[in-house]
Structure 1
Amino acid sequence: MAHTLAPLPYDYAALEPYIDAQTMQLHHDKHHAAYVNNLNAALEKYPDLMNKSIEELIINLEQIPSEIRTVVRNNAGGHFNHTLFWKSMSPNGSRTPTGAIAEAIEVTFGSFDNFKQQFNEAGMKQFGSGWVWLTFNRSGKLEIVTTPNQDSPLTTGLYPLLGNDVWEHAYYLKYQNRRKDYLDAWWNVVDWDEVNRRFETARQ
């Protein structure tokens, strides 16, 4: 069964003024769609792989035939990362975390402000295209990491709770080269209810 592109869970303009409608439309309908199409094309000759979930493909990359491994790594990663990205944002974002994830952030980073600063600094230091993540590691701790291109934290045994896309196509129409402004503005649309759901799943 082919992988599919789910519609955005909100309107293209729903995240304005922080993320503009044109960026959202191009990002979802063109960039994300291309990852899904490229992934399906790569898997066409391997029907047994079509039955694998996106997570299974990413976690077991070493089992993917070598001739399509890089394509699957890039495009399965792009599909997974963006699916999580859209769900992690909401026009009704709470701006500050609540519940279990808020407590864990406080314990790990000292305060939410410290966490945001470290997260944004990591996003700024990511050279070129990539992602910045809040993850849950094998020791049961929160950890900020970055990944290049469309690599997923799943490949290194980390469970992604929240990720921000720092590819230029995610922000360039509105923010041009001002990645810091984009990173700062993005916190206004984070859906902490979704992050809490992922945190609960990770802990289980």
Structure 2
Amino acid sequence: MFRSRFPRIPVQRLPLKRGLANYGQAQRVPTLKHDFSKGVPGLLSPPAFDIAWTQYQTLMLEKLNQLLAGRLFLHRKDPKDILLKYARDPNYAPHFNHASMAHNNHFFFDSLSPKAVPMPEKLKEELERCFSSIETFRQELILTASAMFGPGFVWVVKDRMRDFRILNTYIAGSPYQGAHYRRQPVDMNTEDSSISEHIRRTQGSPVNSVGAHGPHSATREEKLSPPGGTGVTPILCINMWEHVWLPDFGFFHNGNGKRSYAEEWWNHIDWNVVSDRADISKIKFQR
């Protein structure tokens, strides 16, 4: 496995700010199912695991707690609920981004195992039905992940027809239907504060509801589905952000560090978690 020739710089654990005590500190780094005190052998060394999970998850939740200051009714909400709430409001793009990344990262790590976990037979049957074979499914996942240009996640999702498929999300994107139709033409993370109110009104989202039946009468929190969109249930994902795989695999491990990382990830999936998420028993009952 790749090891950098540059000396490793010790990275201190990011402390929570004292001011967060006033926020209730409801968003905390969750406890994972397995013991990762030794990292994920073969996939993530202890220092790499510390960066990708402990430090990064702490950072996302610390930022989210700061953003939620004064909104106590949201402090005990799950990051998934928060990302869905703010997906269609451009004024709360930072809230969406941090909540979505916290959720996605946890979803990824929660399905990892330090040791190989056999795939349950019923899950295997359903995946073979959709992808013809487990090897085809594995190769498609690995190729999709290694071909991603830029950071993001590769997901395995179950659609409303109970079929499984693979999809990508980029940066802090979310696979959930409620987050697909994002009303965020202007990202408040990067918007120039000098932009005039006239431009905000004409190029951004409406600042109020005009008329009972006008084109802007819908509220910002209205739950709309994307045109032609379908609801899916995520069951598995791989985190393809560079800070996760670069420390241990580099760019050229076995000729392709990103692909080597994706191939090794396959060997550390907790298939019992995936099976529970897919609710295989319900699939069998409804077929």
Structure 1 pair 172/12, CA: closer, same or farther in 2 (3 Å)?
Answer: farther
2:95 corresponding residue in structure 1? 72
1:92 equivalent in alignment to 2:166: no
1:161 corresponding residue in structure 2? 235
The SS at the match of 2:173 is coil
Q: 2:247 aligns with which of 173, 184, 200?
A: 173
Structure 1 gaps of 5+ residues are: none
TM-score normalised by L of structure 2: 0.65
CA deviation after TM superposition for structure 1 residue 104, in Å: 1.2
Measured against aligned partners, the alpha-carbon deviations of 1:87-125 in whole angstroms (never above 9, x if no partner) come to 10112322x522322111100000011001111111122
Q: 1:37 aligns with which of 41, 58, 62?
A: 62
CA distance in 2, matches of 1:187, 1:115: 11
Q: 1:152 aligns with which of 174, 178, 188?
A: 174
Measured against aligned partners, the alpha-carbon deviations of 1:15-66 in whole angstroms (never above 9, x if no partner) come to 11222111101112211111111111111132233343322222333465x4
CA deviation after TM superposition for structure 1 residue 131, in Å: 0.5
Larger radius of gyration, structure 1 or 2?
2
Structure 1 residue identity aligned to 2:31: P
TM-score normalised by L of structure 1: 0.89
Structure 1 residue identity aligned to 2:101: G
1:140 equivalent in alignment to 2:162: yes
The SS at the match of 2:82 is helix
The SS at the match of 1:128 is coil
CA distance in 1, matches of 2:97, 2:60: 8
The answer to whether the 8 A contact 1:54-1:80 is kept is yes
1:200 equivalent in alignment to 2:266: no
The answer to whether the 8 A contact 1:140-1:203 is kept is no
The answer to whether the 8 A contact 1:99-1:196 is kept is no
Structure 2 residue identity aligned to 1:172: L
Q: 1:102 aligns with which of 109, 114, 124?
A: 124
1:50 corresponding residue in structure 2? 75
Question: Identity of paired residues, percent?
Answer: 22
Structure 2 gaps of 5+ residues are: 1-23, 181-230, 252-256
The SS at the match of 1:171 is helix
The answer to whether the 8 A contact 2:122-2:280 is kept is no
Deviates most, 162-171 or 118-127 = 118-127
CA deviation after TM superposition for structure 1 residue 187, in Å: 0.9
1:183 corresponding residue in structure 2? 262
Deviates most, 4-13 or 118-127 = 4-13
The answer to whether the 8 A contact 1:105-1:111 is kept is yes
Deviates most, 175-184 or 28-37 = 28-37
Structure 2 residue identity aligned to 1:192: W
The answer to whether the 8 A contact 1:159-1:202 is kept is no
The answer to whether the 8 A contact 1:39-1:75 is kept is yes
What's the RMSD between the two structures over aligned residues?
2.1
Measured against aligned partners, the alpha-carbon deviations of 1:140-174 in whole angstroms (never above 9, x if no partner) come to 21110010012221234322100000101111111
CA deviation after TM superposition for structure 1 residue 14, in Å: 4.2
Q: Which has the higher helix share?
A: 1
CA distance in 1, matches of 2:75, 2:271: 32
Structure 1 pair 22/62, CA: closer, same or farther in 2 (3 Å)?
Answer: closer
1:24 corresponding residue in structure 2? 49
CA distance in 1, matches of 2:93, 2:61: 14
The SS at the match of 2:145 is helix
